[in-house]
């Protein structure tokens, strides 16, 4: 079959070609012996710490000094010697300036939509956090770019928080939604212009604002960001000026991330995450390198593993059982990751939304031929999503395994992303909504007072049970609400209520907003993964402010205490865990 041949060719290419590009061209931050030596010496607990540091000297001088250093120590320096070299040649730069957003206001309109005084006070404090996380890049980075891994952009932006001191692609969508309900339109305009700069420079929006991210992207939401801004401001001239950049971003995904998939005798074009570059991720170098050498005994298989890791990072879900393939199941461990061989529901739903939005925007600009082209593409994409990913018996969409030619019928909130993007036939909305509600209730989402869990599997990866992630909550909540069916909108409100109060409880207990939460214990921070739990947190704040803007007229700040998980639920989860972690 053609689809199978295409995937086989890709595997052969990865295994045999020496033309796989490096993560970036920097011989310090992305590839080379210096990076390898420092990261494997574990000078820093978090691998990201090193690649975010500034060079004290020029790139060439640093490399020359490193070669002399290695020669002096017989190519086998000790930990202390490597640490001394790093301290002498790298430093914490002052590339990011904390700066107040110029359009911030103490009393944004969202506050007037919140009836409960405690929730309004909380929202006031969250609105204040925008000032804490607004950054501007120093002009020094523009002048001496080779000394930094940070990519220069001209305008202010809001960072997620914690270890994430640069902007990130899909984080920014949810941050922008929160900024807009906080009335910060000019800040949003500047952030969008930063992304346009990235597309013009690299041909797409990278994963984040560091050079080691440029060979991979993240869930493609720039077109949705611009559409959200346009709906809020009515600024059609802004759209007109930048519509070609939006089309270039869309073309990147069409040209670089699509494959043919055969289903029931017909071929469909769909997309996957596929970030090809050589070697470990620089920001997780020792973790990737050690896992590869622990799991595989040849360089070819290691390079495939690195590509799958980067592709999962491109998805935003780094890491999860969602990307494991073992005997056509999601059993296994990280060494079984096979991201490039999975067609994800959410990615293809986002691309449908992008095509539909481009059609709308081109139509409003008067470009009828372009509008018709993207309307036709959106229609074809929806047909492909329905044919390959929809399962009427289960009442959900599912990712598709192109190696084994099967739907992956496992619970992940991303399965219902088509509700959020409208990627279904709307004359079937009542049936689709009822099936989606039944699907969620069958998977006992209401038994989790801390939010919808990311999966039903304990794997020690952060995009699995027990973690609950803010974007997945709002995709489900808004997706249900957008069907306009009473049973779905009621469930949407209940899930929004649980999520808002869980976040509120966590804030009351700790004074923090977390990157992720514990689905089983309201207000508790999530855990697992490659780094410590992070607080801040950009997308969490934005999503809560948007939910308060929508539901704040009814919500009350009564903290719901955690309760014991019903015995039958605990039994089911333990049984699922025991079965699915067997290899």
- Cα gap 258→523, rounded to integer Å: 39
Contact between 156 and 101 (Cβ < 8 Å): yes
Strand partners, 411: none
- Cα gap 24→299, rounded to integer Å: 20
- Cα gap 261→418, rounded to integer Å: 19
The neighbour count for residue 260, using CB atoms within 10 Å, is 16
Of 92, 82, 213, which is closest to residue 151 (Cα–Cα)? 213
Which residue of the set 318, 401, 461, 546 is catalytic? 318
Which residue of the set 249, 346, 401, 515 is catalytic? 515
Angle between helix 486-510 and helix 117-132 axes, rounded to 10 deg: 70
Is 444 catalytic? The answer is: no
- Cα gap 473→542, rounded to integer Å: 13
The helix or strand, by DSSP H or E, that contains position 487, with its residue range, turns out to be: helix 486-510
Is 283 catalytic? The answer is: no
Alpha-helix residue ranges (DSSP H) falling in 144-261: 169-181, 185-202, 222-233, 236-256
- Cα gap 105→128, rounded to integer Å: 9
Residues in Cβ contact with 441 at an 8 Å cutoff, skipping those fewer than 6 apart: 491
**In a 10 Å sphere around its CB, with 0-12 CB exposed, 13-18 middle and 19+ buried, how is residue 68 labelled?**
exposed
The helix or strand, by DSSP H or E, that contains position 13, with its residue range, turns out to be: helix 2-16
Query: What sign does the dihedral 290-463-176-342 (CA atoms) show?
Result: positive
- Cα gap 288→277, rounded to integer Å: 13
Of 217, 281, 307, which is closest to residue 31 (Cα–Cα)? 281
**Residue ranges with strand state E in 2-133:** 54-55, 90-91, 96-98
- Cα gap 354→14, rounded to integer Å: 30
Would you state the torsion angle of the CA atoms of residues 35, 39, 44, 47, taken in this order, to the nearest 10 degrees? 90
- For the annotated catalytic residues, the residue numbers are 318, 515
């Amino acid at each position: 079959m053609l689809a199978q041949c295409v995937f086989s060719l890709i595997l052969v290419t990865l295994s045999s070609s020496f033309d796989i590009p490096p993560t970036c061209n920097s011989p310090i931050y992305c590839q080379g012996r210096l990076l390898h030596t420092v990261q494997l010496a574990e000078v820093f607990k978090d691998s990201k710490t090193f690649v975010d540091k500034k060079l004290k000297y020029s790139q060439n001088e640093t490399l020359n000094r490193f070669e002399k250093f290695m020669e002096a120590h017989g190519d086998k320096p000790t930990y202390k010697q490597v640490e001394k070299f790093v301290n002498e040649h790298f430093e914490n730069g002052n590339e990011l300036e904390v700066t107040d957003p110029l359009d911030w206001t103490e009393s944004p309109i969202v506050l007037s939509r919140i009836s409960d005084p405690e929730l309004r006070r909380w929202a006031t404090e969250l609105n204040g956090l925008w000032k804490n996380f607004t950054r501007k890049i120093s002009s020094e980075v523009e002048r001496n770019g080779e000394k930094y891994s940070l990519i220069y952009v001209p305008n202010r932006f809001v960072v997620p928080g914690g270890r994430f001191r640069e902007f990130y692609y899909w984080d920014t969508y949810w941050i922008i939604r929160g900024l807009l309900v906080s009335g910060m339109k000019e800040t949003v305009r500047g952030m969008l212009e930063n992304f346009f700069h990235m597309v013009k420079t690299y041909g797409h929006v990278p994963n984040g604002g560091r050079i080691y991210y440029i060979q991979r992207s993240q869930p493609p939401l720039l077109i949705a960001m611009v559409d959200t801004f346009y709906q809020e401001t009515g600024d059609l001239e802004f759209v007109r000026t930048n519509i070609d950049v939006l089309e270039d971003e869309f073309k990147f995904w069409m040209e670089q991330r699509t494959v043919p998939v055969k289903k029931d005798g017909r071929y469909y074009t769909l997309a996957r995450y596929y970030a090809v570059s050589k070697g470990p991720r620089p920001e997780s170098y020792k973790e990737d390198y050690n896992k590869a050498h622990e799991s595989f005994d040849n360089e070819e298989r290691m390079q495939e593993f690195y590509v799958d890791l980067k592709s999962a990072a491109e998805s935003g879900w780094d890491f999860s059982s969602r990307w494991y393939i073992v005997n056509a199941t999601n059993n296994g461990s990280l060494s079984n990751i096979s991201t490039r061989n999975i067609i994800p529901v959410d990615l293809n739903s986002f691309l449908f939304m992008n095509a539909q939005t481009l059609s709308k925007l081109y139509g409003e600009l008067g470009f009828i031929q372009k509008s018709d082209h993207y309307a036709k593409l959106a229609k074809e994409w929806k047909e492909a999503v329905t044919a390959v990913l929809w399962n009427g018996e289960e009442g959900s969409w599912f990712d598709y395994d192109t190696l084994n030619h099967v739907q992956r019928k496992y619970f992940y909130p991303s399965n219902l992303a088509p509700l959020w993007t409208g990627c279904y036939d709307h004359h079937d909305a009542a049936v689709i909504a009822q099936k989606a509600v039944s699907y969620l209730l069958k998977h006992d989402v209401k038994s989790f007072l801390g939010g919808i869990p990311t999966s039903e599997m304990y794997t020690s990866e952060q995009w699995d049970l027990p973690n609950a992630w803010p974007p997945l909550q709002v995709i489900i909540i808004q997706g249900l609400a957008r069907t306009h069916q009473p049973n779905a909108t009621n469930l949407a409100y209940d899930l929004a209520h649980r999520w808002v109060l869980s976040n509120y409880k966590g804030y009351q207990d700790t004074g923090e907003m977390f990157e992720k939460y514990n689905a089983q214990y309201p207000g508790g921070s999530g855990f697992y993964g490659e780094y410590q739990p992070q607080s801040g947190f950009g997308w969490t704040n934005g999503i809560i402010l948007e939910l308060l803007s929508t539901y704040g007229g009814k919500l009350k700040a009564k903290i719901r205490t955690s309760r014991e998980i019903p015995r039958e639920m605990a039994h089911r989860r333990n049984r699922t865990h025991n079965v699915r972690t067997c290899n």
